[in-house]
Amino acid sequence: MSPEAALQSVAAGGTWFQRHVRVSSKMHARITDEDKLRFFQQLTTLFAAGTPLLEALWISSHQSQSVKMHQVIRTIAERVAGGLSLHQAAGDFPKVFDRQWIEVIKTGEGSGQLGNVLSSLTTHIVAAREMRGKLISAMIYPIIILCVAVGAVVVMLWKVVPVFADFFKEAGSKLPAITQTVIDLSNFLQKDGLYLVGGIVGTVFAVRYYLRTPTGRRLFQRAILTAPMIGDCAVQAYMERFATNMVLLLHSGLPLLEAIGSMQGVFQGNTVYCEALKRVQQRVAAGTRVAAALDETGLFTSMVISMVRVGEESGELATVLDQVATYYRKRVEAMLERLTGMIEPVVILGMGVTVAIILTSIYLPMFQMASGPGGK
């Protein structure tokens, strides 16, 4: 039974338990990073075991738990059976397979080392996935704290403050400036809160639309790279990405100039680095050393430039860049821990100060009322 039929069968029949049990073979519609990784792991294992490429593709397609991934692999298998190479067939799905992956597979097919190349590619995908997972995990807790803090303040302004505002109004006492400000803010939230939410949502969509334009994307990326702390972390992450992918491409046998060209696909989401690498490729093609070309962009750290220069002079560029990748991977992890460690206390402190201001605005008039006629 095909994955599509299995998914429809489970959805259409069976008990509630059978339809909702979290079994490992449960199908899903979209293609996740886990599906891509599993495909390369299965293909590498089958190919290393001596399974012919076409048969390995068919087996991998039936092992996929993603309906769309199954269709993609099946289409690739059909095109390979029709005479296309693996990189040509996979290249028709740029949203599934990154450009540098296709280049690596192409090199492996040309050199007859497809098995080794697939193994290296799988290791690379695992490392990239772990790095992305650490980044997401590092940001989850601060985001949760921020959401809780905002929610607590909104609830206090929306539900708690109005109760005391009515009490103070009936008492006819003169309110301190801080209390009146908090009450005015609460009244605004109750009367025009929906407009505020609509304005925020509209602003978010407008900013997202602007950031999708070439000008907006470039401006945002430049702002990120120059921001304190965040810019440092971003640059370190880009150095790690550059070194890791260059190692993968060079180890697969891709010529240096073509490897630099493929790096533009690696950074296709970042206009600043993509344009810089395009200039680097042009300069290297004109005879400039890679280290000098990287230095001219002003976007690569002195360590990367120095290590690339050492690699060029020793003829061990891939080996040197492998050490650079390991170094920056550890640095990015350390910087993420430090960055999240700074965000958490700032958010907690901000929440504490806000709540303290609200509570002070509530209790201050009550103390004045309790002190006697002087509070009138």
204-258 pLDDT tens trace: 999 889 888 888 888 888 888 888 878 888 898 889 888 988 888 888 777 888 8
Closest CA to 304 of 287, 280, 285: 280
The C-alpha atoms of residue 303 and residue 331 are separated, in whole angstroms, by 13
355 within 8 A of 156, measured Cβ to Cβ: yes
3-state secondary structure of 325: helix
Q: Is pLDDT above 50 for 159?
A: yes
The structural architecture, per CATH, of the domain 3-97 is: Up-down Bundle (1.20)
Q: Which residue has the tokens 């089958």?
A: 46
Number of neighbours of residue 76 by Cβ within 10 angstroms: 25
Place of tokens 């639309």: 209
Among residues 99, 96, 58, 51, which one has the least CA distance to residue 75?
58
In the predicted structure, residue 305 carries a pLDDT above the cut 90:
yes
- What pTM, to 2 d.p., does this model score? 0.71
Residue whose token pair is 């905002």: 150
Angle between helices 271-285 and 256-266 (to 10 degrees): 170
pLDDT at 146: 82
Could you give the maximum distance between any two Cα atoms of the chain, in Å? 96
Check the CA dihedral 189-192-197-199 and report its sign: negative
φ and ψ at 267, to 5 degrees? -105, 25
**Structure confidence by residue, pLDDT tens digits, 19-39:** 666 555 567 778 888 888 888
Residues in the chain: 376
Band of pLDDT at residue 320, cut at 50, 70 and 90: very high
**Closest listed residue to residue 12, CA positions, set 32, 27, 22:** 27
Q: How confident is the model at residue 376 (pLDDT cuts 50, 70, 90)?
A: very low
